[in-house]
Amino acid sequence: MLHLHKVVPFVPDQYIRIADPDARLGIADREIRLFTRFLGLDRIACAGTDTTLDMLVRAGQGALATADTSQVRYLIHAHTVHHISPPDLHMLDSLREKLGLGGARAFAMSNQACTAGLYALKVAESLLLAEPPRSTVLILVGEKVLSHLTRHLPGMTVIGDGAAAILVGLAAAGDAVLGIAHHTAGEFYAGGDMPESLRQRYQQTYVPNVASVIRDAVDDAALTMDDVSLVLPHNVNRYSWSTIARHLGLPLGRVYLTNIPKIGHCHCADPFLNLASAHAEGAVTAGDIVVMVSVGHGGTFCAVVIRTANN
């Protein structure tokens, strides 16, 4: 069984208010009112001069602070946008060097869009099954938004900057992964380039698809929705999660919405940022059953069930 030995978030201490006219986000006033009054958004985290590499290194250093780095067999960077740095930067090599992981094999994952971070847990578990006991994998998730063109998803959300580092292993220490489900609705592969008829179908099936992957992950863990203490969502907006909660018959108070107005949607890092916050705030206690959920542009849906430990 996979365990999350340590989860370390990195959220920049700078913020942009969506309604701030000086932010120059290129969002019409009418849509700003939609975001702030109806969808529950307020501000987004902004990395300023920090790069994606800077954010990942800081999170990674925190996750490795008390770890035996010689046991780290793989370094995985899961990110949403396909291209996040110039090819000649060799970012994974830089990460290995800065984190002291010269003996680890490194690769990136991005084709699952915003579900890449959660899906990386499944990949890490598969890799660890072929490694010596007490081996670990360091998963780095997240990225910096490089363009205003990708910061704003019309009618849906505004994207902030954030990252997290997750040290995982098969040894029984930390939050335990009990179940996972991943669905791909391939008809929606074109994402933002879908024709209007297909876009409408995506919107109609969105809530049932999210609810289905949550239920399947809970089934995989041999549990029921009544066992779930808290759902840790991707921070797209509050309204969509209120609709999903109703579809599941789940009280909205059991969906962790705290970070939506604080930091916005930070790509595939959201569920891990929310897990770290929930632990820090005491929103979860040892033994709670928690479901982390994310949805990727292009029709990918992923949910992971964990049993929390004392952090």
Residue 144 backbone dihedrals phi, psi, to 5 degrees: -100, 140
The pLDDT, as a whole number, for residue 191 is 83
The secondary element (H helix, E strand) that includes residue 229 is: strand 228-232
Is the pLDDT at 120 greater than 80? The verdict is yes
Beta strands 105-109 and 72-78 are parallel
Is the pLDDT at 150 greater than 80? The verdict is no
Other CB atoms within 10 Å distance of the CB of residue 239: 15
Instruction: Provide the 3-class DSSP secondary structure of residue 219.
Output: helix
Domain regions of the chain by residue span: 3-169, 175-307
Residue 92 backbone dihedrals phi, psi, to 5 degrees: -65, -40
CATH hierarchy code of domain 3-169: 3.40.47.10
Q: Are 1 and 172 in contact (CB under 8 A)?
A: yes
DSSP code of residue 294: E
Lowest mean pLDDT among 19-23, 241-245, 292-296: 19-23
Percent of the chain residues topping a pLDDT of 70: 99
Query: Could you give the residue ranges of the DSSP H alpha helices within the chain?
Result: 29-33, 52-64, 91-99, 116-128, 148-151, 196-220, 238-248, 260-263, 270-281
User: Cα separation of 92 and 121, whole Å?
Assistant: 18
The residue-averaged pLDDT of 159-188 equals 95
Q: Are 171 and 3 in contact (CB under 8 A)?
A: yes
The residue-averaged pLDDT of 138-155 equals 87
Q: Binning pLDDT at 50, 70 and 90, where does residue 23 land?
A: confident
Q: How open is the CA angle 42-47-49, to the nearest 5 degrees? A: 140
The residue-averaged pLDDT of 239-252 equals 96
The pLDDT, as a whole number, for residue 178 is 98
User: Cα separation of 304 and 311, whole Å?
Assistant: 19
CATH hierarchy code of domain 175-307: 3.40.47.10
- Calculate the average pLDDT of the chain: 94
Strand partners, 43: 17
Tell me the per-residue pLDDT of 45-67, one tens digit each, with 9 for 90 and over: 999 999 999 999 999 999 999 99
User: Cα separation of 88 and 110, whole Å?
Assistant: 18
Largest CA distance in the chain: 57
Distances (CA, A) of 184 to 110, 217, 246: 14, 14, 23
Is the pLDDT at 186 greater than 80? The verdict is yes
The pLDDT, as a whole number, for residue 311 is 64
Is the pLDDT at 109 greater than 90? The verdict is yes
The pLDDT, as a whole number, for residue 44 is 95
The residue-averaged pLDDT of 171-184 equals 96
Is the pLDDT at 189 greater than 70? The verdict is yes
The secondary element (H helix, E strand) that includes residue 279 is: helix 270-281
User: Cα separation of 105 and 74, whole Å?
Assistant: 5
Beta strands 228-232 and 152-153 are unpaired
The contacts of residue 183 (CB under 8 Å, 6+ apart) are 209, 212, 213, 216, 300, 301, 302
Residue 37: burial class (beta carbons within 10 Å; 0-12, 13-18, 19+): exposed
Tell me if 3-169 shares its fold with 175-307. Answer: yes
Beta strands 152-153 and 105-109 are unpaired
